[in-house]
Structure 1
Amino acid sequence: MRNSGKVTMDRRTLLGALVVGGAGALSIGGFLFTENIIGPSRLTARAIIDRFQNVNGVFPGFRRNHAKGVAVDGYFESNGHGAELSSASVFRAGKYQLSGRFSLSGGNPHVADSVGIVRGLGLRIQLPAGEQWRLAMINLPVFLDPTPQDFYDRTLAFAVDPATGTPDPETVSEYLATHPRTVAAMAITKSAPPADTFAATTFNSINAFEFTNADGVTVPVRWTLVPETGNPARTAGRGPNYLFDQIVADIEQLPRRWTMMIVVGVPGEDRTDDATIPWPADRRTVVVGSVVLTGISTETSENVRNVNFDPLVLPDGIAPSDDPLLSARSAAYAESFRRRAGETDGRGTVEVGGRA
């Protein structure tokens, strides 16, 4: 757990101000991150985004990771049960409007959909008094790297060889031989095969956070979104956008819902600083409400193209843990925004007919 609540809160306040404040604040934040004034001491956001560009190529106007996506909107329906764990306004019973995007990992917005590509779901929940809760989740049960440096190194080690269309097996083998935690995490992810569609996908926070309730009690948490609507019958074909075509058809048919379950960790027992390590399966869970997606559209600057789903934009009552990936993600998102903000408008490559 963190050593000083005051240090974490001050840092979170600064990060939130930089991100929520808009493009100008993000530019300032991007400068601080790239100059390593804020963020991991061994690695800058500039280096991380440069690595993405070296591996994936440069597609002006698009995010440097999770470039291919589609915009969604809807609401979070809170049942009030989360107030037991956190004083955050989002856990008061009621409905809170949200916007977000489904995405696939990688920096190429034209990549063909594949069941094995990591899927993302970013959400921005609007709360009273101008607060926001931004969530950046993926469909893996754990992350593959314990530190930003490990992530940076693996990105290169697993880069696709243009000559073969696959990563170099010798390079991958050499990397895994010296990274046992990544090997263990990969084994866990293989035991949880991906669903056929976005609508049937479970999304996880991956990183740990801290909830503090009205009595001042703080607990470590992770969360997961579990689909309520089962696995809709596939209607889309196997074209290059088949995963997105299917979620468009699903949401246009009826709203799609996910139950938000908070997994409550045990302080001092469950690791909060290593996203590769799962918590025990018997940890207590609290159902706090449902994410309901009612609309879907082509991603543009009019919806979420310019939104960073920064995991450090948090309402009072929720705080980051000591996971080093959190500050690195925040820094990299800001640097990615800084670059694409000065480029052409990256209209999404997934066209939603009649709603763009």
Structure 2
Amino acid sequence: MSQRRSFSAMNYALIGLALVGLLLIWLTLLGVFGRQHVSAQTFVDFQQGDEPHLGFRRAHAKGVCVAGEFVSSGALADYSTAELLQQGVTPMLGRFSIGGGNPTAPDLTSPVRSFAFSLDAGANQQWRSAMNTPPVMAVATPDAFFAQLNALAPNPHTGERDGEKIAAFFAAHPETQAFRQWSASYQPSASFAQENFHSINAFYLVNADGKQQAVRWHLKANTEAMPGIEQPSSVADNPYAQSEQANDALGLEIADRIRERPVVFDLVFTFADPSDDASDPTVAWPSSRRHVIAGQIVIERVVDSPSVCDAVNFDPLILPTGMRPSEDAILRARSAAYAESYRRRAREQIFHHSDTTP
């Protein structure tokens, strides 16, 4: 039984570490570390390590750039004035990715997978969202997050993490329950197309009368558009898993799938009720909450030039008129952190280009 607890604890640690880099700089920008006078730049330095991969994102460095459209059903028209949520079609640029800052990391071993999209319907009608496979975060307060970092830190002498220390942290923080339950049951699939991707944080829809409705959203595979996608799979079922190209298995598989037919996700909004705290990302809202399919994300092609997505900062606080962020403190700090990462890689790309162009 102790071995099982240790194994589960290490699973939690792997997924938690994939989110640590972003949380560090988010909390820095909130002023959590202000008394130590540590800047956001310092924590981006921490995230990238001693040998940064120049020109790449500091988180989710490895990914696949895709394009298609968002087909809105108009089902949310009464809840938001956003033009993007009225019935119609908007071009979409998106990116599948895995966690971490290494652009050459093996796809199938990553504990976190992500999808980000950018929609642009004109002035004040841009929407960007960065979603991950976990539906919730482990902790929500700065003090608890610091404790989590200490628990996850490897022993400086051995380089190994202490499973008992990690398990003790989670036992001392009951707010991690939803995250732990998800982590214990999560089985990575063979394809990006079979994953659910979650906003994690909550936002508000705002209608013409100024009435607000707290929501979260997630992407779920549309089984009618993709017959057979509902069949469970594991990473071993990926056609590249045992090949010489296993390092890029997820990227190669999704590219093959898109070439065969569009990959389609339902964009599902979950409505909070008055008892739900929109500012707390650690709590999973009950499955009995109202769900509304806002439309479909239709992925039609892989974008051959990754620089197209590299030029996009998938900042989840870029919202259209008719949507606004919740009071979640971590969410509200992300914009500046994304901007810092973007500035670094853009500057590095320009330097590299000027250094290699005759």
TM range (shorter): 0.7 to 0.9
Answer whether contact 2:196 2:219 (CA < 8 A) is retained: yes
SS at match of 1:181: helix
Structure 1 residues 160 and 297 mapped into 2: Cα distance closer, same or farther (>3 Å)? Answer: farther
198 and 140 in structure 1: CA distance in 2 versus 1, 3 angstrom threshold: same
SS at match of 2:93: strand
Q: Go from structure 1 to structure 2 and tell me whether the alpha carbon gap of 1:57 and 1:84 turns closer, same or farther (over 3 Å shift).
A: farther
- Flag the 1:175–1:343 CA change in 2: closer, same or farther, 3 A: farther
**CA 114–167 in structure 1, closer or farther in 2 if over 3 Å, else same:** farther
Deviation readout 1:20-72 (Å, 9 max, x if unpaired): xxxxxxxxxxxxx99x7xx4121453243223123x84111111111111111
Pairing 1:260-275 to 2, within 5 Å after superposition: 260-267=267-274, 269-275=275-281
Compared with structure 1, are the counterparts of its residues 161 and 78 closer, same or farther at alpha carbon in structure 2 (3 Å cutoff)? farther
Residue 110 of structure 1: CA displacement?
Answer: 1.2
Find the residue that maps to 1:124 and give its secondary structure.
strand
Normalised to the residue count of structure 2, the TM-score between the two structures is 0.78
Q: 1:332–1:178: structure 2 CA closer, same or farther, 3 Å change rule?
A: farther
Q: Match for residue 181 of structure 1?
A: 175
- Report the alpha carbon displacement of residue 158 of structure 1 after superposing the two structures with TM: 2.9
Q: Report the equivalent of 1:248.
A: 255
Q: Structure 1 residues 111 and 295 mapped into 2: Cα distance closer, same or farther (>3 Å)?
A: same
The alpha-carbon distance between structure 1 residues 189 and 305, as it changes in their structure 2 partners (threshold 3 A), is same
User: Could you tell me how far apart the structure 2 residues matched to 1:326 and 1:187 are?
Assistant: 23
Question: Aligned partners of 1:197 and 1:345: how far apart in 2?
Answer: 34
Structure 1 residue 224 displacement after superposition? 1.0
1:128 counterpart SS class? coil
Query: What are structure 2's unaligned runs of at least 5 residues?
Result: 1-24, 34-38, 232-236, 353-358
Structure 1 letter corresponding to 2:247: P
Q: Summarize deviations over 1:184-242 as a string: whole Å, max 9, x none.
A: 42223323433221011111110000011123221100011110122588433341111
1:87-142 alpha-carbon deviations (Å, 9 max, x no partner)? 11111111100112111111111111125520110100111336210000011121
Look up the match of 1:326: 331
Matched position secondary structure for 1:340: helix
2:130 and 2:205 map into 1 onto residues whose CA distance is: 17
Q: How many Å separate the matches in 2 of 1:337 and 1:65?
A: 11
Conserved? CA contact 2:136–2:178, under 8 Å = no
Q: Is the 8 A contact 2:84 2:125 kept in 1?
A: no
The equivalent of 2:340 in structure 1 is 335
The one-letter code matched in structure 2 to 1:312 is L
Shift of 1:283: 0.4
Residue 335 of structure 1, CA deviation: 1.4
Tell whether the 8 Å contact from 2:124 to 2:321 is kept in structure 1 after alignment. Answer: no
Distance in 1, matches of 2:150 and 2:54, equals 21
Instruction: Please say which of residues 313-322 and 155-164 is displaced more in the overlay.
Output: 155-164
Q: 3-state DSSP class of the match of 1:42?
A: coil
Alignment-derived partner of residue 310 in structure 1: 315
Q: Which has the larger radius of gyration?
A: 2
CA distance in 1, matches of 2:48, 2:262: 36
Residue identity (%): 38
1:199 matched to 2:193? The reply is yes
After superposition, where does 1:133-282 map in structure 2 within 5 Å? 133-147=127-141, 150-151=144-145, 154=148, 157-158=151-152, 167-228=161-222, 229=226, 230-231=229-230, 234-238=238-242, 239-267=246-274, 269-282=275-288
1:53: which partner in 2?
A: 48
For residue 272 of structure 1, report the CA deviation from its aligned partner.
1.0
- The answer on 1:289 being equivalent to 2:289 is no
Q: CA RMSD in A?
A: 2.8
Contact 2:32 2:142 in 1 (8 A): no
Over 3 Å counting, the alpha-carbon distance change for 1:101 and 1:256 in structure 2 is same
> Do structure 1's residue 96 and structure 2's residue 58 form an aligned pair?
no
- CA, structure 1 residues 132+49, in 2 after alignment: closer, same or farther (shift >3 Å)? same
Q: Which amino acid aligns with 1:128?
A: G
Mapped partners of 1:66, 1:152: distance in 2 = 22
Q: How does 1:69-148 map to 2 (within 5 A)?
A: 69-129=63-123, 131-147=125-141
Of the structure 1 ranges 337-346 and 146-155, higher mean CA displacement relative to structure 2 is found in 146-155
Distance, in Å, in 2 between the alignment partners of 1:83 and 1:91 is 6
Q: Is the 8 A contact 1:76 1:289 kept in 2?
A: yes
| Contact kept in structure 1, 2:204 and 2:214, CA below 8 Å | yes
Distance in structure 1 (CA, Å) of the matches to 2:184 and 2:271: 24
Q: Helix, strand or coil for the counterpart of 1:73? A: strand
* Number of aligned residue pairs: 309
